[in-house]
Amino acid sequence: MNTPLHLSKILGFKVSRKDPGYSYRSIGASGENKASVYYGVYTAGKKSLKYMVVIKRGTPAEKEAPKPGNRGKRDSQLIMMGMLNRVHYDRRPCELDEVMINALNKLEIPPTEIEYMMAIDADTRVSKLSMSYMHRYMQANDRVLACCGETKVDNTTASWVTMIQIYDYFASHALKKSFESIFGCVTCLPGCFTMLRIYCPDDMRPLLSSDNVFQAYSRNDIESLHDKNLFHLGEDRMLTTLLLKYFPEYRLNFVPAASCWTIVPDSYKVLLSQRRRWINSTFHNMWELLKVRTLCGCCCLSMKTVVAIDMLSTMILPAAFLYGLSFIYVVFVAGEPITQLTLILFGVILGAQVLIFLVRSRIDHLFWFLFYLVVGLPVFFFVLPLYSFWNMDDLSWGTTRQVAESKKPASASSPK
């Protein structure tokens, strides 16, 4: 089943092809799309939750298409951002906006009072207290514009492909995002697990729904290879870049207490497809970040320098891997002596990893770290970068992963 059918089964509303579709301005070649709106109250035991579901249906010309109405994640985000933008600036709503606003009002949720937006992917499993941690963190820090939690691998031992990704996910969050969070400049807020502030609580100034962010993010004149990598493949990083650009006085932080688990690719082919998108979009977004003049720091002691080094290291990963192999050959095969300084550097690097595992109570990650060094390095440092750069003009989304059917949904009240 697709995501809309899963949601209808869980929440209890019925989906039919005869349900009315409401027009809105979308991205893509046609610039038009239609969507249906469902709302009601989900109940599980003594707890209840108001919900509104927007399902894209496409134009009449897409009736026979395999995924009618699908315009990607950015288009889905823009549905909500556009509605809030027109509400906050008191502009004329589109047809879909009117239906969404009417549904929210009937649920007694005024659109002007929606303060946060939580982005979660369909294949992401979130821990029970994660959203509470992130909400409390943003309430206690008015200058935090957005925050993300730690994403972990759910299908850890499905195959050797999933096993090499365990440490990779840990390093990208517990190491990289933790470091960037110190400066309030997390350079990539993942779309699978991020909370964003919609307006400033002090003066009600729009933030996520501001004109600058919405207009730049809703661009539909994507023609160059650079722009296509930014908006078609790296929309999460692009939105983060826009937030850093237009709101330098705010912070983008990492909340380690909040955690989620995601289904990672378990086959080599799907991993190639995913990392091709990630690596190419990362390189192009880092180039955009270098243009942001408001990143914290000065000269060499700045986030701009960190971004430049990160971009350079991404480009030279294959060469660095070959250099590492040659170093191993010279030392262990040719018998060349190794200097004491080199031993100290390797000791510091490995010791820092072990120390982080101990501090974070992740001693089991020591095994995944060693497995990553032996099996993962050739893949992440050599094969994936070369494959990605060689296929930089491949803008397809690639193979997608399916979500398993849930066993038994909770009961729900009759939706409207």
**Alpha carbon distance 73, 95 (integer Å):** 21
400 — pLDDT class (breaks 50, 70, 90): low
Determine which of 58-72, 128-142, 310-324 has the lowest per-residue pLDDT on average: 58-72
CB atoms within 10 A of CB 142: 12
Calculate what percentage of the chain has a pLDDT beyond 90: 64
pLDDT at 401 over 70: no
Nearest to 71, CA basis, from 102, 28, 106: 28
Provide the CA 202 distance to its chain's centre, in angstroms: 28
Q: What tokens appear for 85 in the block? A: 């933008």
In this structure, what token pair is assigned to residue 257? Answer: 């207490």
Name the CATH topology of 115-406: Spore Coat Polysaccharide Biosynthesis Protein SpsA; Chain A (3.90.550)
Three-state DSSP class for 21?
coil
Give 410's pLDDT tier (boundaries 50, 70, 90): very low
Mean pLDDT score of the chain? 89
Do the beta carbons of residue 230 and residue 277 sit within 8 Å?
no
The H or E element spanning position 327 is helix 317-328
List, for residues 292-308, the tens digit of each pLDDT value: 888 877 777 778 888 89
pLDDT of residue 273 exceeding 90: yes
137: its two tokens: 């963190």
Q: Find out whether 207 and 145 touch, Cβ atoms under 8 Å.
A: yes
Max alpha carbon distance in the chain (Å)?
77
pLDDT-derived band at 335 (thresholds 50, 70, 90) equals: confident
Alpha helices in 171-267 (DSSP H): 178-182, 211-217, 225-228, 235-246
The residue type at 177 = K
The pLDDT of residue 282 is 92
Examine the pLDDT at 349 and tell me if it is beyond 90: no
Which of the two residues, 355 and 207, has the higher pLDDT score?
A: 207
Helix (H) or strand (E) holding 347: helix 340-359
Q: Give the model confidence (pLDDT) of 124-171 as tens digits.
A: 999 999 999 999 999 999 999 999 999 999 999 999 999 999 999 999
Higher pLDDT, 195 or 299: 195
Average pLDDT for 75-95: 95
Span 30-34, average pLDDT: 89
Beta-bridge partners for 118: 195
pLDDT in the model for residue 362? 80
Query: What burial class does residue 383 get, using C-beta atoms within 10 Å of its C-beta: 0-12 exposed, 13-18 middle, 19+ buried?
Result: middle
What separation in angstroms does the CA of 176 have from each of 64, 173, 187, 254? 44, 6, 10, 10
Instruction: Give the domain ranges of the chain.
Output: 1-114, 115-406
pLDDT, tens digit, 9 for 90 and up, residues 362-372: 888 889 999 99
pLDDT tens figures, 380-393: 999 999 999 999 98
Compute the average pLDDT of residues 108-136: 93
Both ends of the chain: CA-CA distance in Å? 23
Tell me the β-bridge partners of 120. Answer: 193
Beta strand ranges found along 121-232 (DSSP E): 124-126, 144-153, 193-197
Residue 96 pLDDT exceeds 60: yes
Q: What is the mean pLDDT of residues 70-87?
A: 93
User: What local confidence, expressed as pLDDT, does residue 147 receive?
Assistant: 96
Question: Distance (Å, rounded) from C-alpha 375 to C-alpha 370?
Answer: 9
Q: Is the pLDDT of residue 403 over 70?
A: no
More confident position, 334 or 409: 334
Contact by Cβ (8 Å): 286, 210: no
Half-sphere exposure of 265 (CA within 13 A, CB side): 16
Q: Which residues partner with 301 through β-bridges?
A: 298
Number of neighbours of residue 342 by Cβ within 10 angstroms: 12
User: Reduced to 3 states, what is the DSSP secondary structure of residue 183?
Assistant: coil
Structure tokens given for 299? 């000269």
Picking from 376, 58, 59, 397, the residue whose alpha carbon sits closest to that of residue 232 is 397
**Helix ranges restricted to H, 107-150:** 130-140
**Residue 294's pLDDT is what?**
81
Residues 218/76, Cβ–Cβ less than 8 Å: no
Per-residue pLDDT at 398: 66
